[in-house]
Amino acid sequence: MVEITIRKRPHAEAVATQRKFFKKTARGKVVKVLRERYLREDVPCGISHCTICPGMPGTTLPTSGGQGHKSYPHGHFILPDTNVFLHQMDLMEASQLNAPVILLQTVLEEVRHRSLPLYNRLRALVKAEDKQFWVYYNEFRSETACIRLDGETPNDRNDRSIRKASDWYKSHISQVFGRNPQNISTLPTVLLLTDDAANRKFCDAEGIPNSSVRKYVEGLKDATSLLDLLSAAGETEIEPTAALVAGRGALYPEYMPQANLVAGVKAGHLHQGHFNANPYNYLEGNVTVPAHTKPVLLIGREHMNRAVQGDVVVVEIFDEKEWKAPADAVVDQETTLKNDDPDESEEEPDDENALAEERERRALVRENARKQPASSERQPTGRVVGIIKRNWRAYVCHIDSTSLASSSATSLSLQSVFATPVSRFLPRIRLRTRQAPTLIGQKILVTIDRWDATSRYPEGHFVRALGRAESKEAEQESLMLEFEVPYRPFGKAILDCLPPEGEQWVVPPKDPNNPAWRNREDLRDKVICSIDPPGCQDIDDALHATMLPNGNIEAGVHIADVSYFVLPDNPMDAEAAARGTTVYLVDKRIDMLPALLGTNLCSLRPHVERLAFSVIWELTPDAQIVNVRFTKSVIASKSAFTYEEAQIRKDDPHRQDELTQGIRLLNSIAIKLRQQRMDAGALNLASPEVKIHLDSAETSGPIDVEQKQMLETNSLVEEFMLLANISVAKKIQETFPQSAVLRRHLPPPKTNFEKLQDILLKRKGMKLDVSSSGALAASLDKCVDSAFPAFNTLVRIMATRCMLSAEYFCSGSVGRDTFGHYGLASPIYTHFTSPIRRYADVLAHRQLAAAINYASLHATLHSKTHVEQVLSVVNRRHRMAQMASRASVEFYVGLALKSRGADKDGKPKEVQEEAFVIRTFRNGLGVFVSKLGLEGLVLFKREIKFDAENYTVTVPQPKGKEVTVAVFDKVTVRITVEKDRNTQRGVVKMVLVEPVDTST
């Protein structure tokens, strides 16, 4: 019999093995948590050939450490503290930094606690094949475990734990490799990397090798390029320099403490929201807050107080007598700040900086000198008093060539330069780099590190170059980076989730026992077809319609059964959730799912059997729904049409085949469905859509631009997709009232339409009723000018811009009265019809499958919290994808204009287009070129008369004559694409030609 010995642990040991902390529950209750940790002596060090730590799993660190540092000729390992990963992640990710890294458990856990995005990047870095990382679980080894002392802060305890582990490694290496006295002087060094000056002093006192990040990088072979990657928020943040301590006075007010911000928002005298910059005036921004229908206006640098586009800020609202109206002049950052010095003195501003400040001051004085605005124009005005959450990330920029020191334009010495972001919503970023001359004319990636109250500009660091400006490759990558489009290739773990048969996969022969056929209807004999844009490869919907014996009509929408291939909670599902949507650029598509699914196995190609999820209605000839059923199915599409092909087929009287009859039947029902929606108050809005003609698939060079034509068949498909989405929404909400994935469009605040209403009344004598969606639809129909056929479309475009954005939401998270879709006049709505390209549709498919008892619902889709988190990501990805698509169109329109504006010899020629005035400024006009879907600014070089109340500008002419231009006027503009001298990017410039020439 085996003898069992029971030992009682001493109290002193229990203190070291127990972790005690307090946490607040969701209901606000504070509870004490006691966790046991088991200390052991066999946690491996990770260094190969270690005789004390045998049997180490995985890849180990080289015995000799990393080579190539002049201060450590015998090799070294780096052991970074937490702040190195929090502030210098770009450096740690650089391929040139190849020293072996010891990552402590203490550091890993603290990074996870401080920043989840950085933690995910760190985990990816540990797994990277070109890096040498070893995660050492110091909290579980008896010699390196550290307990918090009385009165010690968590940060100090972590610093001490890191020093203790570093000291242990030092002695451990001596024990393993220093037994021979001759080896003592040639042992590799374990170097603690920290930018905390106090921590380095402790290391010096304890004999622990240490270095600041900058000092370490300066000793590497590739120091020049690596130094540019250093974050400005590193060393000086923890160890302020004398210049910062004794430098120039603060330019911005200091932020309130976080506790005061939270208390102020809770009490109601402070307000929280997202900061939005004004693209027309960089000295102005606003913040939308729940307490006011109009956004809070922020005027001037001081009141914007270092907020950057997308930051979550807290604002203080001034007394109502101090409220103002937004500026009515275009204030351009590049023009106003021309010749500003990036290497500004810390003690006093130089003449050029003073000149830029004076120009800004004058711009603000001009606005303050304006006639007191009408009460209807005024809006809450205030200032930023604190930041809740920064939205800083890597931004696509250009180096401003005028900011280089003239004496060092060709040298590689360290100099301060301005990086001008591509986005007009962002401020210039100051960075210090040795590569400035080589980066001129390139698109680069820059990260903001900090923005001190003593600095006019945020400080950042160079991450990497993207390529020559205006090259399609660099423009494409910069566009995807700017709008945070995930464009990395699908990894092995994701591709392993695909069917092993690959492209050879087919629907198996019909067999009720086969999982693919389980509870599926065989609809292969139905005359089904798809109707899509030209060149569509990811066909996710198809339709059919037939007459029933009772005189009613059977109509069906068949959607690709993506959920059969994308199973919940596997790597492919996680990647699809992270991507959220497929992104469509002019000449490229960034897929949400691997191409094998999106363009093959899930795509409802003609004459191929495919798995589908079908919604089938019985409808009366008047398009009233008799019943609807949902079923998993197998279909075989009989044909794939473009919109134009389907239209031609429908209109051809000689075609009487079953397929054509089905399209005509679908169209007749679609017309009645549309009328029903319009009668219910649905809006017929408009957005500028253009079609880019490319030279060829290989060159992707644009040769022309034209407006997209909307055909009857476009509306046919749209109406049945809407009907399917509404029917599915009702079903999943009935079955899962707390977690259904739905989509809503909230009614816009009536204040959003005030300016458009005023413009229509004063310029056209028309009234816009916004009391309901139906009233708005009716009044939009009346906005007609017989002499101006495009007027109605223009008004609809302007009305669309007054709307709120539609969003996905979880049914249990909001009140039932807010479910409705304002634009569609539907009380409930979801997205079901495009699961190949939208992740929300995949979730709706899973919920519908459970609702019809086809499959059980995964546990995560029962969780309201989980659904909210997923949809939050999907909403953001959807918005960014839309902006990326628009930016891609704008870029290619510019290229097409550039090619159109040159003759056979490459000499420039004029491109003139008809445009419509949509906005007036004190110094210019906002115009819209409908043919190109392009919006631009016309700035006047001469003094003009501006009438803000009547939305007109009057331009003086020779001999005392004057020409007045107003909103809605038709004008002619000359369009050119010029290369900006500073940013090296092509910029569309517009000049008024008629009724007045502003080029002179």
pLDDT category of residue 234 using cuts at 50, 70 and 90: low
Domain presence at residue 249: no
Domain presence at residue 898: no
pLDDT, the chain, mean:
84
Q: What is the pTM of this model?
A: 0.79
* Selected residue with higher pLDDT from 402 and 463: 463
- Residues 734, 758 within the same domain: no
Please give the backbone phi and psi of residue 840, each rounded to the nearest 5 degrees, phi first.
-60, -35
* Selected residue with higher pLDDT from 371 and 949: 949
* Selected residue with higher pLDDT from 924 and 9: 924
Q: State which of 559-573, 681-695, 939-953 shows the largest mean pLDDT.
A: 559-573
- Residues 796, 657 within the same domain: no
Q: What residue type is 920 in one-letter code?
A: T
The closest alpha carbon to 300, from 318, 283, 322, belongs to 283
Rounded distance between C-alpha atoms, residue 217 and residue 98, angstroms: 12
- Residues 184, 267 within the same domain: no
Structure tokens at 174: 């001596």
Our count of domains for the chain comes to: 6
- Residues 210, 95 within the same domain: yes
pLDDT tens profile 194-210: 999 899 999 999 999 99
- Residues 588, 704 within the same domain: yes
Characterize the bridge pairing of strands 589-590 and 639-642: unpaired
Domain span at 564? 492-672+685-741+811-882
Rounded distance between C-alpha atoms, residue 96 and residue 797, angstroms: 51
Domain presence at residue 846: yes
- Residues 384, 436 within the same domain: no
Q: Picking from 77-91, 344-358, 360-374, which range would have the lowest pLDDT averaged per residue? A: 344-358
The closest alpha carbon to 686, from 772, 546, 793, belongs to 793
Rounded distance between C-alpha atoms, residue 987 and residue 338, angstroms: 17
- Residues 752, 629 within the same domain: no
Domain presence at residue 483: no
The closest alpha carbon to 790, from 965, 968, 623, belongs to 968
- Residues 772, 649 within the same domain: no
- Residues 214, 147 within the same domain: yes
- Residues 692, 552 within the same domain: yes
DSSP E strand boundaries for 415-552: 415-421, 429-433, 442-450, 459-468, 521-522, 529-532, 541-547
Domain presence at residue 678: no
User: What pLDDT does residue 696 have?
Assistant: 47
- Residues 756, 722 within the same domain: no
pLDDT tens profile 591-611: 999 999 999 999 999 999 999
pLDDT tens profile 653-689: 989 899 999 999 999 999 999 999 999 988 887 666 6
Rounded distance between C-alpha atoms, residue 976 and residue 973, angstroms: 10
- Residues 557, 604 within the same domain: yes
Domain presence at residue 31: no
Domain presence at residue 251: no
CATH number at residue 324: 2.40.50.690
3-state class of 774 per DSSP? Answer: helix
pLDDT category of residue 366 using cuts at 50, 70 and 90: low
By CB atoms closer than 10 A (0-12, 13-18, 19+), residue 689 is exposed
pLDDT tens profile 457-507: 899 988 888 888 877 788 888 888 888 898 888 988 899 999 999 999 999
580-598 mean pLDDT: 91
* Selected residue with higher pLDDT from 896 and 865: 865
Q: Is residue 247 pLDDT above 50, yes or no?
A: no
Q: Around Cβ 763, how many Cβ atoms within 10 Å?
A: 16
Domain presence at residue 945: yes
Stretch (H or E) spanning 104: strand 101-104
381-401 mean pLDDT: 90
Domain boundary among 469, 501, 529: 469
DSSP E strand boundaries for 490-624: 521-522, 529-532, 541-547, 553-560, 583-584, 589-590, 609-619
